[in-house]
Amino acid sequence: MLQVPWQDVFEQTRRDFVFILPETVLACFGLGTLLLDFFLMKGEKSWNSLTAMVGVIMSGASLVVMLRGMGGQSYSAFGNSIIIDPFFIFFGFIFLASTALVILISVKYMEIEREQHGEYYALMLFATVGMMFLACGNDLIVLFVALETMALSFYVLTGFLRRDRKSNEAAMKYVLMGAFSSGILAYGFSILYGISGSTNLQVIATAVAERTSRFGHGDVLTILALGTVAAGVFFKIAAVPFHQWAPDVYEGAPTPISAYVSVASKAASFALLLRLFLTVFWPVNLDWVVVMEAVAVLSLTLGTLAALNQSNIKRLLAYSSITQVGYILLGLVAAVNPDGTLHQRGLQAMAFYLFVYAFFNTGAFAIVILLRHKGVIGDDIDDLNGLIQRNPGAAVLMLIFLLSLAGIPPTAGFFAKLLVFWALIETGHTYLAVLSVLYILPAVYYYFRLVAAMWVRESTDPVRPVISIAQKFALAAMAIVTLAAGIFPEQFLRLATYSLLAPFGR
Amino acid sequence: MLFSDSHILSTILFTPMVGAILMLFIPRERPDLHRWMGNIFGILGLLVSLPLLWRFNSAMNAPRFQFVTDSLWIRSIGAHFTLGIDGLSFLLVMLTTVLGPIAILSSWSAIQKREKEYYILLLLLQTGMLGVFMSLDFVLFYVFWEVMLVPMYFLIAVWGSERRLYAAIKFFLYTLAGSVLMLLAILAIYYYRGTFDIREILMHPFTAQYGWLQKWLFWGFFFAFAIKVPMFPFHTWLPDAHTEAPTAGSVILAGVLLKMGTYGFLRFSVPMFPDATVKYRWIIIVLSLIGIVYGALVCMMQKDMKRLIAYSSVSHMGFCTLGIFALTPLGLSGSIIQQINHGISTGALFLIVGVLYERRHTRLISEFGGLSTPMPNFAAVYLIVTLSSLGMPLLNGFIGEFTILRGVFEVSWQWAAWGVLGVILGAAYLLWLYQRVMFGNITNPANEHLPDLNAREYATLLPLVALAFWIGIYPKPLFDVLDKPVHELVERVHPGYYSAPALTPRAAAEAEAPISMALPAKVPLAKAPLVPSSTSSPAEVR
C-alpha cells in the first residue's frame, strides 16, 4: 500500500499557491472584469478600468508582501518550475507599473474610439499574468505557456479597433509573425529538452555546461538551440532582423496598446532572455555575446536610419524603440567580461534601462493619445504642431520624455545610456561604445523634429487637448520617475543592482 | 569657514533656477510680470556673485580651488556634487553673471511673443553655464554641459529669424557630437582612475607613460572643446546659430558659450594630458592661425552685420586658442583675458546690432549708412566698442591681444606674425563695417529719423563699455587672479619653467625643445595604476 503523505502535500500546495499570489490575483480580477462587464450599462463601461486597476494594485501589494518576506533569497515552487527571486519581483513591478499606466491612459482613448469593453481590460490583466510567469518561470513548459498567454492577449488587443482596417491588419501581421517566431522558439526548447532530458532550467544548464566542456564551443546542438531560442526572443523584443512587424503593429494598434507592446511585452521578453541566457546558455556566453553585438549594432543602425524620415509619430516611436532595444542589448553584451565572467555594471545598466524605459516610452505614447480627438488620429507629426500654445503642460512633458529617449540629461535616459557606455568601456568594447554613442546624434535629430513641431511650428489644429484626471495622474507619475531617475538615480540604481545581482551575481 | 563660503557657489548657481521655477507658476497672460521676474532674478544672480570679488583669494599660497562644496550625489557610481572655483573659473563665472542680466535686459522690447518660456529658458541657461564653470566632478560637469544645450536650442529655434530651425538643430548636433565623445573619454578616465573627481585627476595627469591612452583621451576631449570654441574647421555651426539667434541668444552664445570650449582646454586638455598637449599642439596652433586669418577674411565679404560679427568671433577665439597652446605664462593669461574681452566686446557688438535690428528689422549692411547723424550717442558707444574689439590701446582688446602675441612670440615669431596679420585684418573689417553703417550720407530714407539710444539700451551697453575701459587701463587685478592657475598650467607642461632663472624670452624658446623631450623620463606616479583593476570596480557597483 502506498502511503500518501496528504498532510505534506496540502502544506506544500498551500505554500506553492502563496508564491503565485500576484498572478492569481490578476487572473481573478481579469475574470471578474469580464463578469462585471455584463452588469454595466453601455455608458458605464469605463468602470471596468477601475476593476482592472484594483486588480493591479492588489497584485502589486502581494508583490510587496513577498518582497518583504523573502529577504533577498530565492524560493522555488511547484516542483521547481517557478522561481521567486528579486529578479521576478523587479520585473513584476515593471509589468504592473506599465499595466497601471496603460490602463490610466486608455480610458479616455477607448471612449473616443467607442470601443469601451470589459474584455480590453481583462485581456491586459491576462497579458500581465503571462508576463509575470515569464519572469518567474524556471521550466521550459511554463515559460512557453506564459509567453503564449502574453502573446495571444496582445494579438487580440492589437486588433481591438474592430472597425479600423489598420488595426485589423496589424493584428493579422502580428499573429502570423508571432506564431512563426513561437514555432522557432519551441523548436529551440525541444532541442534543449533533447540535450538534457529535462525541462528544468537548472538541469538544462548543467547539461549544456557538460556538453560544452565535452565538445568544446562548436557543439552543433547547443549552437542550434542557442540560435533558435535567440531568434524567437529577438522577434519578441523586436530586434533587427526580426523587427518587421513592429512598425505596422505600433501604427495599427490602439495607441495605449502600442505603448503596452513596446514597453511591457518588451520587458517581459527581456526577462525571458535574461533568464535563459544567464542560466542555460551561460556556459557558452562568449558565443552568444557575438550574436548580441551584431544584433544590437544592426538594431541601432536600422532603427536609426528608418526613424529619420518617418512622418507618423507612432511609426517613429516604433523605430526609435528598435534602437532602444539595441542599447539595452549592448548592456547584455557588456555584462560579459572578455574572459567569460559576469560584469555587473552591464547587468545593472540593462535593468536600470528597462525600468526607466517603461516610464518614458509610455509617456511619449501617452502624449500621442492626448492628441486623439474626434476625426484626428493624432499620430501625424503635424498633429503636434503648436502644442506648446494649445497645451503647454503636454508639450513640456513630451519634451522631457523625448530628451530621455534621446539620452540628454537631466533625464533617466541619460543615466541609462551612460551606464551602458560605461560597462562597454569596462569590458573592452570601446568600438561599440564609440559607435553607439554616435547614434545619439541622429536620434536627437529625429526626436527634435517632434520637439520643433511642438514648440516652433504654428498650430494647424485649433483644438486644445484636454487631459483627463486619470491621464494627468499617469503623466505625472511618468514624468516624476523620468526626472527623478535623471537627477537622483541612486535609489533606482540600487534597485536595479539588487534585483539582478542577487540571483545572477556569480 | 564662514557659512556663506561653502554655499556661495550653490547660491550663485541656483538663483536663476529658482527664478525659473517661480515663473512657472505665473500665468503666461502676464508678459510684463515675466519680464520683471526675469530681470529681477538676472540682477539677483549678479548680486549674489559679487561677494566673490572680495572673498576670492588670489595669493599664490591660497588653496587651488576655493569655496568648495562637496557632497555625495550618486553613491553607486561615485558621482559627487562638487563645486569650486579657481582664478580661471572665477573670471568666467563673473563674466557669466555680468552678461546674463545684460542679455535679459536687452530682450525687454525685442521679445514680443511667448515671454514666459523665453525668460524661463534664459534663466535655466544661466544656471547651466554657471554649472559648467563651477563643477569639479566629471558627471556633474557633463550634465551641465549638455543640459545647457536644450534652452539654447529653444532660444534659437523659437525666437530666432528665418532659418532658425536649421540653425538650432545644427548648433545642437554639432556641439552634441563633440560632447558624446567627451563622455566616453570621461568614462575611460574613470576606468583608469576610479574617480570622477576633477581635482584628483588634475593632481595625477595622464603623462607620456600612458602611451596611446593619453593620446586618445586628448583627442576625445579635443573635439568637444574645438567644436564649442569653435576652431576652424569645426566653426560652421557658429555663423548660422549667431545670425539666427535673438540678440540675447547671440550675446550669451558669443559671450559665454564659446568660452566653455577654451575653458575645457585650460581645465582638462592641457593639465590632464600635458605630454599629448605638447606633442599635438602644432596642429591646434595651425588650426588657430587658419581660424584667425580665415575668419577675418570671411568677415570682409559679409553682407549681414550679425554674420560678420559671428565670423569675427571665429577669428578672435582663434587668438584665445593660440594663446593657450603657446603654453607660455603670457600666452595663457593673455588668452584668458582675451576670453573675457571677447565676451565684453562681442557681446556689446551683438547688442548694437540688436539696437539697429529693433529699429529697422534688418541686419543688412547695405540698408544702413550715415547713422551717426540721427544717432550721435549710439555712434559714440559703437565706436568705443569697435575699437575695443579691434584692440585699440587703452581698451580691453589691446591688453588681451598684445599679451597673447607676446607670449606666442616667445615660442615662434612666425606664429606671432600670422597673429598680427589677424589683428590688422580685424581692424580693417570692423572699421569698414563702422564706416559703411555710420558714416557717409543717409542713403536710405528709412534711416533719417531713427531714435537714439534709450535708457534701457544705455543700461545694457554702458556697463560693458565701462568694463572695456577698466580692463584696458588697469588690468592688473585680472592678471593677479590668473597668476596662480597660469603658473600651475605652465609648470605642468614645462616642468621647471619658472625655476630656470633669468631666462630671456629667446632662450626660453630655444630651451623649450629639450624640456619637452625630457618629459617622458619623469618618475612614475605612485598613485596611478596603469593596469585597471577590474576587481575593484564591480565591488563599487554593489
> SS3 string of A429-455?
CHHHHHHHHHCHHHHHHHHHHHHHHHH
What is the C-alpha R_g of chain B? 23
Contacts of B303 (CB under 8 A, 6+ apart): B364, B365, B366
Report CB contact under 8 Å: B143, A489. Answer: no
Q: What are B135's strand-pairing partners? A: B83
Q: How confident is the model at residue B497 (pLDDT cuts 50, 70, 90)?
A: confident
d(CA A191, CA A279): 16
The rounded percent of chain B whose pLDDT value lies above 70 is 91
Give the closest of A392, A422, A455 to B157, CB-based. A455
Pairing of strands B79-85, B66-74: antiparallel
Hey, are the CB atoms on B147 and A408 less than 8 Å from each other? yes
Tens of each residue's pLDDT in chain A, 506 residues: 567 777 887 888 888 888 889 999 999 999 999 999 888 888 788 888 999 999 999 999 999 988 888 877 888 888 889 999 889 999 999 999 999 999 999 988 888 888 888 899 999 999 999 999 999 999 999 999 999 999 999 999 999 988 888 899 999 999 999 999 999 999 999 999 999 999 999 999 999 999 888 887 778 888 999 999 999 999 999 998 899 899 999 999 999 999 999 999 999 999 999 999 988 898 888 889 999 999 999 999 999 999 998 999 999 999 999 999 999 999 999 999 888 888 888 999 999 999 999 999 999 999 999 888 777 777 888 888 888 888 889 999 999 999 999 999 889 999 999 999 999 999 999 999 999 999 999 999 999 999 999 988 888 777 788 888 999 999 999 999 999 999 999 999 988 888 776 667 65
Measure the CA–CA gap between B353 and A448, rounded to whole angstroms.
30
Query: Looking at chain A from residue 389 to 418, which residues have their Cβ under 8 Å from any Cβ of chain B?
Result: 392, 403, 408-410, 414, 418
Question: What is the pLDDT, as a whole number, of residue B264?
Answer: 94
Q: Which of the residue ranges A406-410, B388-392, B526-530 would you say has the lowest mean pLDDT?
A: B526-530
Residues of A in contact with B542 (CB under 8 A): 344, 497, 501
**Residue A376's Cα: distance from chain center in Å?**
28
B79-85 and A75-77 beta bridge pairing: unpaired
In this prediction the ipTM stands at 0.92
The residue extents of the domains of chain B are 11-56+80-495
Identify which has the larger pLDDT, A502 or B211: B211
Residues of A in contact with B532 (CB under 8 A): 426
Residue B358 has pLDDT above 50, yes or no: yes
Let me know how many helices (H) and strands (E) chain B has, helices first: 24, 2
Give chain B positions within 8 Å (CB) of A421.
183-184, 187
Taking residues B490-517, report their average pLDDT. 62
Domain layout of chain A by residue ranges:
283-506
Using a CB-CB distance cutoff of 8 angstroms, which residues of chain B are in contact with residue A422? 77, 187, 190
What pLDDT was estimated at residue B2? 54
Distances in Å between the Cα of B357 and the Cα atoms of B66, B81, B110, B367 are 42, 42, 9, 11
- The residue ranking higher by pLDDT, B4 or A152, is A152
Neighbours of A426 (CB within 10 A): 23
Q: What is the pLDDT of residue A40?
A: 87
Q: Which residues contact A293 (CB under 8 A, 6 or more apart)?
A: A330, A333, A429, A432
H/E segment holding residue B527 = none
- Provide the grid cell at A406: 534621446
- The grid cell for A215 is 565538445
Chain A residues with CB inside 8 Å of B115's CB? none
Q: What is the pLDDT of residues B106-130, one digit of tens each?
A: 998 888 888 899 999 999 999 999 9
Please indicate whether, in this complex, the C-beta atoms of A452 and B172 are within 8 angstroms of each other: no
pLDDT of residue B499: 77
Bridge-based pairing state of the strands A82-84 and B66-74: unpaired
- How many angstroms away from the CA of B325 is the closest CA of chain A? 27
Q: State the Cα–Cα distance between residues B488 and A447, nearest whole angstrom.
A: 44
Across the interface, do B169 and A452 touch by the CB < 8 Å criterion? Answer: yes
- Collapse the DSSP code of B2 into the 3-class scheme (helix H, G, I; strand E, B; otherwise coil) and give the result: coil
Chain A residue numbers touching B147 (CB-CB < 8 A) = 408-410
Of A344, A418, A445, the CB nearest to B173: A445
The predicted model scores a pTM of 0.92
- According to the model, what pLDDT value does residue B40 have? 93
Q: What gap in Å lies between CA B414 and CA B319, rounded to an integer?
A: 14
Residues 343-382 of A with CB under 8 A from B: 343-345, 348
pLDDT in tens, B361-371: 888 888 888 88
Judge: B538–A344 Cβ closer than 8 Å, yes or no. Answer: yes
**Cα torsion A416, A421, A427, A431: sign:** positive
CA distance A67 to A498: 12
CB contact under 8 A, A421 and B169: no
Tens digits of residue pLDDT in B143-188: 999 999 999 999 999 998 888 899 999 999 999 998 999 999 999 9
Supply B92's cell numbers: 568666467
Q: What are phi and psi of A376, to 5 degrees?
A: -120, 125
Q: Looking at residue B3, what is its pLDDT?
A: 56
Q: How far apart are CA B154 and CA B158, in angstroms?
A: 6
Confidence of residue B495 (pLDDT cuts 50, 70, 90): confident
Residue A358 cell numbers, joined: 517603461
